[in-house]
């Protein structure tokens, strides 16, 4: 039997981890949250450390108030491509896993997945800026102050969201505003029931 796999990409706060865990629970599979392996990668080489700390090494206020949407996306693309060999190695380590495996990460960009992964994926883009901000405040990504959390949420929703949508459409990955809306389609793709 061919093991079932799927990836989940999309903006931070959109419900990727929640969806991965829900799918794993339903299928008795594994949710692999690739962000959890960043520290491990950073310890492997200075190159990975550079990309793991890409945002942490920035003056966030300066960064988020002086970049264009294009520069914002290009920064995420550079980080994702820099970390990608390490993430691919981690993904490949599950090649003989018999249970369903759900991979989740903000850096699983559609163009990289399309090029290197042989299984389907879905993209979560968030419901609204207000929800993105509320979730970022509840579980801060990087910024410790409310002002930085607001700047991050604006970047996630207004700058990165359109790029995730555009790339996902280009490569044929289904797009959803949240985990609940994506669950049925993601389950079908994971279990191979999609027509």
Q: pLDDT (tens digit, 9 = 90+) per residue, 32-78? A: 999 889 888 888 888 899 998 888 788 888 888 888 989 989 999 99
Q: Among residues of the chain, what percentage have pLDDT more than 90?
A: 75
- Give the pLDDT confidence score for residue 53 in this predicted structure: 87
Residue 194 has pLDDT above 70, yes or no: no
- Give the pLDDT confidence score for residue 1 in this predicted structure: 38
The DSSP string of 93-110 is: TTTT--S-EEEE-TT--H
How many angstroms separate the CA atoms of 42 and 44, rounded? 5
- Digit-coded pLDDT (tens) for 100-127: 999 999 999 999 999 999 999 999 999 9
How many angstroms separate the CA atoms of 11 and 24, rounded? 20
- Give the pLDDT confidence score for residue 140 in this predicted structure: 81
Residue 195's pLDDT band (boundaries 50, 70, 90)? Answer: very low
- Give the pLDDT confidence score for residue 57 in this predicted structure: 83
Q: Which CATH superfamily is domain 5-191 in?
A: P-loop containing nucleotide triphosphate hydrolases (3.40.50.300)
CB 20 within 8 A of CB 33: yes
Q: Where in the chain are the domains? A: 5-191
- Give the pLDDT confidence score for residue 77 in this predicted structure: 96
How many angstroms separate the CA atoms of 31 and 183, rounded? 14
């Amino acid at each position: 039997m061919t093991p079932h796999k799927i990836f989940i990409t999309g903006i931070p706060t959109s419900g990727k981890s929640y969806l991965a865990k829900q799918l794993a629970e339903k299928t008795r599979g594994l949710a692999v949250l690739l962000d959890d392996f960043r520290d491990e990668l950073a310890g492997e080489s200075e190159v990975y450390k550079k990309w793991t700390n890409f945002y942490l090494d920035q003056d966030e206020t300066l960064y988020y108030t002086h970049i264009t949407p294009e520069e914002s996306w290009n920064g995420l693309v550079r980080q994702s491509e820099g970390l990608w060999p390490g993430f691919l190695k981690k993904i490949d380590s599950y090649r003989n896993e018999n249970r369903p495996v759900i991979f989740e990460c903000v850096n699983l960009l559609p163009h990289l997945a399309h090029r290197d992964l042989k299984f389907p994926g879905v993209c979560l883009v968030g419901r609204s800026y207000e929800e993105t901000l509320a979730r970022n405040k509840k579980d801060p990504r990087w910024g410790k102050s409310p002002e930085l959390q607001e700047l991050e949420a604006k970047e996630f929703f207004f700058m990165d969201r359109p790029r995730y949508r555009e790339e996902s459409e280009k490569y044929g990955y289904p797009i959803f505003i949240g985990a609940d809306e994506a669950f049925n389609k993601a389950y079908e793709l994971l279990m191979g029931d999609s027509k």
